[in-house]
Structure 1
């Protein structure tokens, strides 16, 4: 009876659908299986061979909501977003586009013009002003945020503190510099090696450069030892080589002179290439490992 029932059911099915219907059903399932296999294969490729993302971290949008914690007395109750680009890990150098507005840059230049004097050097043991002549040929002036009646340097100093995560009272006064055509600063370290400069009350751990003007040609900030280059003893401390950062008005450059363990990073050697065309203005903020008076240098 089972065989008759099966036969009867099959007969009813074939009569109901017919050969043309069965043909189209077979084609339908074949195509569905084909495209299904293709989609599955593509999904497998995405799992095992992901495409590189253009950005590792996405900037927060206005629609993003954060569940903020209650801050301490010296903290903030809001989030600060300051875009940056990592230029190098050896040395640790970060670039901050559009860090300051054109108006802020012009204001800083105006308040610095009257007090410019030839830039000086911190002399190592055995050096004299005569023996170091020509190493640094710019003009500059030290101005603290408290001395700026416009309040511009106060705003910039606060933003630098947020960008570096180092309290603003660890910074020296701003050293605002002007480089004319042909002027430069030969490669040097911002940190002071006690073996060369004697005991230090505190140490420069980082430097923040705010470019106040565009420079059509020359004037780049250079890191000749970037990623271990030119460290074979042949570098003469004058050549403009290695990683070079072109000044652009309003942009900032942060680099660290010390490793986290407090020793000097040998790849943090840097200098200012000679200006070939135009004029270079830059505001430098040196940051130390201890709290500083605004006028300490």
Structure 2
């Protein structure tokens, strides 16, 4: 009886071992694949964590991004530097000559107030880029505002970073091409005569890069005056008789949180003559605006 039991056990073990080899092999493959998948998932998660740690501001403040489920659109797989969601930023084309676009409610009231509060500390009289033969003395009165330059890295509230990221998406030009923000304050009577943001080589000499576009974020409402004007819009007033102090042509009224984008260069790289613009005198209230100049080359931090 004892011998039969042993024999029976030996037979059962032999059969188990015989049938178990492929089973054990499949188990090993399963655990290998599970481990590989878990490792890949963890690695991807770590990459996303690093990305979120390095760029938390853009991802938490740009609420215009929508997923495929929210929009119903079929999204493509993005590249390493792209987005896995759709960005929706409403805009209105104000003019094709110059190319000027208006962005309503581009920033929140809280963001605007935060920028103004931060900028008030370092305001100084605004200066000009001087052409050959010009001096500070003979250019007095052209630009009478007060301003301060601020980079996103100087703003601990991270508001400027969020605005900068959104401007990059609106312009389709990476934020690395932008100069520091020029935060300006115009009081009653203060203005900026008509001028170009892009510098002519013949007048200003060689340059490392050129200003392609300008984005103005209005930080306050202005009860009266303070409009951004384009006197040459659609080719008007270009007969040589224009007085650069005259506030005429296409006028954009400052509204708190709204944005204005216009391009200084044509697609062929030459200066768009219709992009001449200025700031009309403030008649009532106070005008605050954050200007972002965007260049054709990456800017140093």
Q: Secondary structure at the match of 1:114?
A: helix
1:219 equivalent among 226, 230, 233: 226
1:243 equivalent among 242, 250, 257: 250
Indicate yes or no: 2:173 matched with 1:162: no
Conserved 8 A contact 2:224-2:285: yes
Q: Secondary structure at the match of 1:110?
A: helix
List alignment gaps of at least 5 residues for structure 1.
Answer: 1-59
Q: How many residues align?
A: 236
Partners of 2:168 and 2:149 in 1: CA distance: 18
Partner residue of 2:90? 83
Partners of 2:70 and 2:187 in 1: CA distance: 46
Partners of 1:62 and 1:249 in 2: CA distance: 32
Indicate yes or no: 2:208 matched with 1:201: yes
**Deviation at 1:139?**
0.2
Partner residue of 2:108? 101
1:143 equivalent among 145, 150, 172: 150
**Deviation at 1:255?**
0.1
**Deviation at 1:63?**
5.4
Partners of 1:121 and 1:266 in 2: CA distance: 20
CA offset digits 1:156-205 (Å, max 9, x no partner) = 00000000000000000000000000000000000000000001110000
Structure (1/2) with the larger helix percentage: 2
Partner residue of 1:57? none
Partner residue of 1:270? 277
Tell me the TM-score normalized by structure 2: 0.77
Partners of 1:222 and 1:62 in 2: CA distance: 42
Partners of 2:68 and 2:254 in 1: CA distance: 29
1:172 equivalent among 167, 179, 191: 179
Partners of 1:233 and 1:244 in 2: CA distance: 20
**Deviation at 1:61?**
11
Moved over 4 A (4+): 60-63
Q: Secondary structure at the match of 2:86?
A: coil
Conserved 8 A contact 2:68-2:85: no
Q: Secondary structure at the match of 2:87?
A: coil
Q: Secondary structure at the match of 2:114?
A: helix
**Deviation at 1:245?**
0.2
**Deviation at 1:64?**
3.3
Partner residue of 1:111? 118
Partners of 1:62 and 1:130 in 2: CA distance: 60
Partners of 2:128 and 2:292 in 1: CA distance: 16
Q: Secondary structure at the match of 1:285?
A: strand
Indicate yes or no: 2:266 matched with 1:256: no
2:80 equivalent among 63, 73, 83: 73
Partners of 2:216 and 2:250 in 1: CA distance: 15
**Deviation at 1:66?**
1.5
1:125 equivalent among 132, 141, 149: 132
Tell me the TM-score normalized by structure 1: 0.78
CA RMSD between the two structures: 1.5
